[in-house]
Amino acid sequence: MKFSVLVVLPAQEPLRDLATASLRGRRSVRNLKSVAMPRGFELDKSFGAVAIGSAESGFTTIAALKPAESKDFVVRGTIEAESPEEIPVGTTDRPIFADPQIAPFPYCSGAAQGTVVDVRTKLDVSGLAAKGLDGDKIAIAIMDSGINLAHLTTKLGAPPRLDVSNSWTPANSTTLPGQYPVDHGTMCAYDALIAAPKATLIDYPVLRANAPGGNVTGGTISVALQAFAHLLANYAVAYAPGGLPKYNGIVVNNSWGIYHPTWDFPAGHPGRYCDNPNHPFAAIVTALVNAGVDVLFAAGNCGSNCPDGRCQGKTTGTIMGANAYANVMTLAACLATNDDRLGYSSQGPSIVNMPQQKPDLTAYSHFVGSEAGGVGRPDSGTSTACPVAAGCVAAIRTKLPHATCPPVNLIQQFQMSARTARGSANGWNADFGHGIIEPVATASSLGL
């Protein structure tokens, strides 16, 4: 049986060329026969390679993540094993990591409750606008299934800002940014613009079939790894001394994750993703955050009241992988009409071995908004709560440089300014995190 895996390899010129070519959207012609691979590993040449710096330094510095400087690289391929339990761990200089399936977090049942008007009212978008906090010169990267600009234009009454030239177009894609079918990514883009209508969207179709290893209902973590590396190369480096950034801030929305640990390597494997802060994907996330990029993830839809069927009945410890990283903002979901927690919204604490106090905050979902799923269909799941919050972050970033308030500090500011949910005690709780997001209160606390 073949399993998709990621392998970390020490730097060699063919890998540097492969990583550079991947970032430029082309294929490398370098012969890879000289690169030593783990026994039984079959390289996927369509994936390219991703520079991750040095495992010993925690993968965190921007300079070390450039292909010319990186000491280690991630490649993708398959490995033969009789069962998941038989997947090897690799060697000291060639460790093997999981490349689990990832999927979006909408919730496909239940009538809509409320509309986008209710969400705007609860977020006090007019109050944000009065403070000049509208997302101008802030980019929101929608890591999803692709954006349909025509649908957004119809729903919004005018075309939103979309940065086509700096969006990510996978090497084997023939679809231009903003021209993907109306789907989950379009919903997320619409919801991100609720609080930040002047933000610029950047299209990263990590869940589409034309992304390497992707499909219309999900991809694998390797595709997200490659997309994050592209974002890092094209944006984070602009923050370096002497850089001329096109944007004053970058917010990354991720309304996806894994639904069950069985999508991953078996428990105890050192290369597992869902409970492993040392997985290579953590390298890219940490580098982006350290560069001043705000990263948000949805908590998931495995809440105890009405979990998604893919949760397989598991409703504890379901906030996993990157969705539970300490340096990202993790979103639960509630109704804008009455602030009630949506029963499918995943609850904390997160999976063992990861930061336990997740979710961080709660934002609104299950309202009529984009109608990307059809007329009258709700924007749903923690998939919606995440971009609603991403828009709030983008609004605050309009006048708050990352150098003044780094991403982790801004998460704390949102936590301290959150509204305690009805019936909840102050402080963190498993249902709402630190409470319901209040962007105007956060802005005021920061003196904006």
Q: What is the CATH number of the domain that holds 383?
A: 3.40.50.200
Quote the pLDDT of residue 291: 87
- pLDDT of 211 reads 45
249 touches 291 (CB < 8 A): no
Print the domain residue range for 253: 103-445
Instruction: Give the pair of three-digit tokens for residue 273.
Output: 């993703």
Question: 91 with 113, same domain?
Answer: no
Supply the pTM of this predicted model.
0.95
Mark which of 98, 127, 158 sits at the end of a domain: 98
Q: Which two tokens stand for residue 133?
A: 């906090």
Residues 187, 373: contact at Cβ < 8 Å? yes
Q: What is the pLDDT of residue 57?
A: 52
Q: Could you tell me if 91 and 155 lie in one domain?
A: no
pLDDT in tens, 139-152: 999 999 999 999 99
Angle separating helix axes 280-290 and 221-234, nearest 10 degrees = 30
Q: What is the rounded average pLDDT for all residues in the chain?
A: 91
> What pLDDT sits at residue 232?
86
Spatial distance between the Cα atoms of 250 and 423, rounded to a whole number of angstroms: 35
Whether residues 130 and 32 share a domain: the answer is no
Same structural domain, 166 and 306? yes
What digits encode the pLDDT tens for the residues 160-200?
A: 999 998 899 876 778 999 999 999 999 999 999 999 999 99
Both 133 and 274 in a single domain?
yes
- CB distance 279 to 272 below 8 Å: yes
Cβ atoms < 10 Å from Cβ of 373: 17
User: What pLDDT is attached to residue 243?
Assistant: 46
Q: Grade residue 60 by pLDDT with cuts at 50, 70 and 90.
A: low
Query: What CA–CA distance (Å, rounded) separates 372 from 388?
Result: 15
> Which of 98, 116, 147 corresponds to the end of one domain?
98
Co-location of 74 and 150 in the same domain: no
pLDDT for 407: 98
| Tokens at 370, concatenated | 């984009």
**What confidence category does residue 353 fall into, taking pLDDT thresholds of 50, 70 and 90?**
very high
Q: How confident is the model at residue 341 (pLDDT cuts 50, 70, 90)?
A: very high
Among the residue ranges 27-31, 32-36, 218-222, 344-348, the one predicted with the least confidence is: 27-31
pLDDT value of residue 213: 44
What pLDDT is stored for residue 217 in this prediction? 47
Q: Pairing relation of β-strands 90-91 and 94-98? A: antiparallel
Tokens read off for 292: 């001043």
Say how far apart CA 435 and CA 370 lie, in whole Å.
Answer: 25
CA 365/CA 354 separation, integer angstroms: 26
Average of per-residue pLDDT across 388-400: 98
Number of domains present in the structure of the chain: 2
Residue % of the chain over a pLDDT of 70: 92
Q: How much of the chain exceeds pLDDT 90, in percent? A: 74
Q: What backbone torsions phi and psi does residue 90 show, to the nearest 5 degrees?
A: 85, -160
Task: Choose the final residue of a domain: 44, 65, 98.
Answer: 98
Could you report the per-residue pLDDT of 189-235, keeping only the tens digit for each? 999 999 999 999 999 999 985 444 444 445 899 999 999 998 988 77
SS3 breakdown of the chain: % helix, strand, coil, rounded to 5?
30, 20, 50
**Same domain flag for 84 and 161:** no
Distant-in-sequence, close-in-space partners of 90: CB < 8 Å, separation ≥ 6: 7, 8, 38, 96, 271
Comparing C-alpha atoms, which of 87, 84, 56 is closest to residue 71? 56
Same domain, 417 and 289: yes
Q: What is the pLDDT of residue 212?
A: 46
